[in-house]
Chains A and B, each alone.
Chain A
Amino acid sequence: MWRTLYSIFLFVFLLAGCESSRIVDQVQIIHAMGYDWKNGKYIGTAIYPTFRQGPMTKPDILTTESSTTYDLIPRLSSKSALPIEEGQMRLVLFGKSFAKKGITEIVHSLARNNKVGSHLQLAVAKGDAEELLRITAETTLSDTLYLSNLVEQNIREMNLPNTNLHIFLYNYFGKGRDPFLPYFEKKGNFVKLEGLALFNDGHYVGRIDLRQSFLVKMLLDQTKNGVYQIPISRNKQKGRVLLENLFATSRYSFKKGKQPVIDIHLHIRAVIRDYPTWLDLPDKRAFKLVRNQMEKHLNKDITALLSYFQKKEIDPLGIGDFVRSHTRNWNEKSFYQQYQQLTIRPHVKIDIVQTGIGE
């Protein structure tokens, strides 16, 4: 009895000195971090909220430069009154020049950092990350999470495929797949999501627009949202229909042989949200026409997208990974040597479930 009491006493009072407390109002919590490569130096920009005057406060910005990426956050500390903590970080934004140079170092550091969650969003900015962060800090009131909320909103409701640190790391380290990230652009005084940035082995190699990112989203996994505009024509009348995805599933199949073929079966259940007035949709023939033209068009778009990937020798869809799961002794190197010659055939099937409330 006394021995237990004594040991509890010892534990409590001796170990209490080993505490490493980080009281929530006595640390500087970073909400977003930007990395740039400019004039041979790395520039780090941190955006953080101050809640001193009230729950609604303007975001503040700290920026510093260094010759390596490792000591950017420690250098930020020298400009801050409170210790800098990255535990609540929601977004890491890479400038395009930095992304081209390679984001490997940052990614490795993030993968090992136990403070940041895997819901962290990574993104690429056209131009400087610092500039974009400054724009969000100036135009938005009190919203330090503007960009990460923007990304999440677009994943949930619109054309952006699901991305976060976890998915990025899976694509980055996984064999037979390449990572992609949301791509931002500065438009006047606003920041606009402009599609996906594509990476090859940690280096930025190209980008696709938001329309194409919807295709990527459907090809990657089951989705329940996203919109896509398709041109349509009958006789000499031309117009566009707006397709809204209700539920899309993709199925890959692989034919072995000397000329291996990959078939992608894409099944979209969709709503025609808007259509030209000359199109009388409840009519069966019109229905068929629209469906055929949409399927044809989507097939064409997907083929173009895939050939773009093949030309760039990148694999954001994880086709290599899919083939690996169907092949004994799969070899990454030899697969990607033939990647450009690989035949990938999309087969789109659209079910028009609703046509919206017309008239």
Chain B
Amino acid sequence: MSIFSFLFKKNKLEKQTKTLSHLLKSLKQSSDFVHLPFQTNGHYFSIYYFDSLVDPKLLQQHVLCHLQQDLSEHSSLSIHDLQQIIPIQRIEVTADVEMIETKLLKGFAMIQLLDATDRCALINLASENLGLRQNNDSENEFSVVGPKVGFVENIGTNLHLLRRQIVTPNLIFRELTVGSMSKTKVVVAYINGIANDQTIETVIQRVSEIEFDVVFDTSLIDQMISDNSSSPFPSFVSTERIDRVIYALVGGQVAIFADGSPYVITGPSTLFDFFTSPEDYYLPWILGSFFRLIRLFGVMFSILASPIYIAVLTYHYEMIPKDLLGPIIFSRSNVPFPPTLEVLFLEITIELLREAGARLPTKVAQTLGIVGGIVIGQASVEAALTSNILLIIVSLAALASFTTPIFKMSNTIRFIRFPIIFFASFWGGVGIVFAICLLLIHLGKLQSFGNPYFVPLYPLRVKAFADSFIRSPYHLTAKRPSYLRPRTFWRYDPKKAKQKKDIDE
């Protein structure tokens, strides 16, 4: 943000004290702002609202209808009496112009009595779900086993979904407003008594200090509150799965919701959080651990396969096993490029396919995948632009990078392959080792809300390995990981969890 800071200074909105009439005048410029003068039984009042924001059904059934019928019973009307007449919860009476402005812009209706114009009643008539999805099948983070309910764009629904599963008064929602233009409702959720106080403070401080205009998605918040925004690695897990967020909260992490975003940020995260899938916990621990190891192997393979191909073929032909030498030389014998260009050609082709597939409608993308994968792959081998073996390596590497459950991390893996490819092509095996050293140093320095990112590997936390490379059985993971510094350590009693209370005992 620092590069653009000069822009923000110039465009900073100057705050001036407004009066209500000023406000109404400026709002009336917009044609969807409705002023409804109203008169029944000798009471004169005006109703103001944004036609595009309020629910017309609510307005007719709960406001206009009651005003018309019930007002006759009241001989003298003060603004506070409206709460008795209109069957809508939380009618606020205020004279604060700022507040009136925000509430009007959030879909509230304002009722003003002509006798007392200084105070107004604000009634929530916002059509919450108009134009928004009602449900989300969490298709972007699909798992075969387990619930398929995902978060939606409406923050109210999201909080509801969360509270349904964490039934404790200790689940705290702290509401903040972010964005000078969007006034987005952002909620920081944590479980009191589990999450570390310092972490909560850090999160709330960072979120409340965000200076931005429109918050489109939580990923913007993610970037703005991350500890190192120039790192390719995501600092926080962002997910649309409810079970993931609940698991994080129960483990002592903090979740950040934003209105209009189906993705929720959880943090502080570690590198391993990005490679765990909810399915690991739904399958028996041996299977869960096995698939997690496969996933980690996939990541290593995806990052290192093509650099090693370059390094071995360009510099270290001595290392090729004798039985592999023939096939490799034969498949490369007609390729006119050095291995580096060959790899770059294929890698970029695959990146193009991925990017095109993501931008196109689903049905076209499928066709494109087939055209790109089979036709281009086959043709480029037959035209001797690339070797058969490399085609297999690169497509396997691409496949392996898809195993990462979190999309942000799989993007990172797509990206960091390229610097390593360059290192490998310049310095061979030494270059790969050097690049990996740089990567490890970077990971060791990274932090997420002030917590180490590469834990439990660095700093070494031996006990936290229970749920890192492998997913241990539940009686071994009863204790929350210490690196999050939770206020209470035990999730449940591991001895009781191991007991089997059969009838015949």
Interface size of A by CB at 8 A reads: 25
Do residues A87 and B318 form an inter-chain contact, with CB atoms below 8 A?
yes
Once the chains are docked, how many angstroms separate the CA of A145 from the CA of B323? 10
Do residues B426 and A27 form an inter-chain contact, with CB atoms below 8 A?
no
Do residues A21 and B333 form an inter-chain contact, with CB atoms below 8 A?
no
Once the chains are docked, how many angstroms separate the CA of A56 from the CA of B330? 9
Do residues B314 and A22 form an inter-chain contact, with CB atoms below 8 A?
yes
Q: Given A21-B314, A23-B338, A115-B318, A88–B426 Cβ distance below 8 Å?
A: no
Contact for B320 among A24, A56, A90, CB less than 8 A = A24
Q: Which residue of B lies closest to A142 (CB)?
A: B326
Do residues B333 and A51 form an inter-chain contact, with CB atoms below 8 A?
yes
As a 0/1 sequence over residues 1 to 39 of chain A, the CB contacts with chain B under 8 angstroms (1 = contact) are 000000000001001100111111101010000000000
**Quick check: is B497 within 8 A (CB to CB) of the other chain?**
no
Q: Given A24-B332, A54-B330, A87-B317, A15–B426 Cβ distance below 8 Å?
A: yes
Minimum distance in angstroms from B336 CB to a CB of chain A: 11
Interface size of B by CB at 8 A reads: 23
Minimum distance in angstroms from A10 CB to a CB of chain B: 13
Once the chains are docked, how many angstroms separate the CA of A9 from the CA of B173? 48
**Quick check: is A333 within 8 A (CB to CB) of the other chain?**
no
Contact for A27 among B312, B317, B335, CB less than 8 A = B317
Q: Within 8 Å CB of B327, what residues of A?
A: 55
Minimum distance in angstroms from A152 CB to a CB of chain B: 10
**Quick check: is A117 within 8 A (CB to CB) of the other chain?**
yes
Do residues B315 and A25 form an inter-chain contact, with CB atoms below 8 A?
no
As a 0/1 sequence over residues 135 to 168 of chain A, the CB contacts with chain B under 8 angstroms (1 = contact) are 0000000000100000000000000000000000
Do residues A55 and B317 form an inter-chain contact, with CB atoms below 8 A?
no
Do residues B322 and A90 form an inter-chain contact, with CB atoms below 8 A?
yes
Q: Given A16-B426, A23-B338, A145-B322, A88–B329 Cβ distance below 8 Å?
A: no
Once the chains are docked, how many angstroms separate the CA of A19 from the CA of B338? 13
Minimum distance in angstroms from A128 CB to a CB of chain B: 25
**Quick check: is A85 within 8 A (CB to CB) of the other chain?**
yes
Contact for A25 among B312, B322, B333, B428, CB less than 8 A = B333
Minimum distance in angstroms from B419 CB to a CB of chain A: 10
**Quick check: is B377 within 8 A (CB to CB) of the other chain?**
no
Minimum distance in angstroms from A85 CB to a CB of chain B: 7
Q: Which residue of A lies closest to B330 (CB)?
A: A51
**Quick check: is B176 within 8 A (CB to CB) of the other chain?**
no
Do residues A25 and B329 form an inter-chain contact, with CB atoms below 8 A?
yes
Once the chains are docked, how many angstroms separate the CA of A276 from the CA of B487? 84
**Quick check: is B107 within 8 A (CB to CB) of the other chain?**
no
Once the chains are docked, how many angstroms separate the CA of A2 from the CA of B322? 46
Q: Within 8 Å CB of A22, what residues of B?
A: 314-315, 317
Q: Which residue of B lies closest to A13 (CB)?
A: B426
Contact for A51 among B312, B326, B339, B428, CB less than 8 A = B326
Minimum distance in angstroms from A80 CB to a CB of chain B: 15
**Quick check: is B313 within 8 A (CB to CB) of the other chain?**
yes
Q: Within 8 Å CB of B38, what residues of A?
A: none
Q: Within 8 Å CB of B312, what residues of A?
A: 24
**Quick check: is A52 within 8 A (CB to CB) of the other chain?**
yes
**Quick check: is A49 within 8 A (CB to CB) of the other chain?**
yes
Q: Which B323-354 residues have a C-beta within 8 angstroms of A?
A: 325-330, 332-333, 335, 338-339
**Quick check: is B422 within 8 A (CB to CB) of the other chain?**
yes
Q: Given A23-B338, A51-B330, A88–B315 Cβ distance below 8 Å?
A: no
Contact for A29 among B325, B330, B426, CB less than 8 A = B325
Q: Given A19-B426, A22-B315, A23-B338, A49–B320 Cβ distance below 8 Å?
A: no
Q: Within 8 Å CB of B317, what residues of A?
A: 22-24, 27, 29, 85, 87-88
As a 0/1 sequence over residues 31 to 71 of chain A, the CB contacts with chain B under 8 angstroms (1 = contact) are 00000000000000000010110111000000000000000
* Residues of chain A whose beta carbon lies under 8 Å from any beta carbon of chain B: 12, 15-16, 19-25, 27, 29, 49, 51-52, 54-56, 85, 87-88, 90, 115, 117, 145
The 10 closest A-B pairs by CB, nearest first: A87-B318, A51-B330, A51-B329, A24-B317, A55-B326, A25-B332, A21-B314, A55-B330, A24-B313, A16-B426
Question: A25-B332, A88-B322 known; 8 other A-B pairs, CB under 8 Å?
Answer: A15-B426, A20-B315, A22-B315, A23-B317, A24-B328, A27-B317, A51-B330, A55-B330
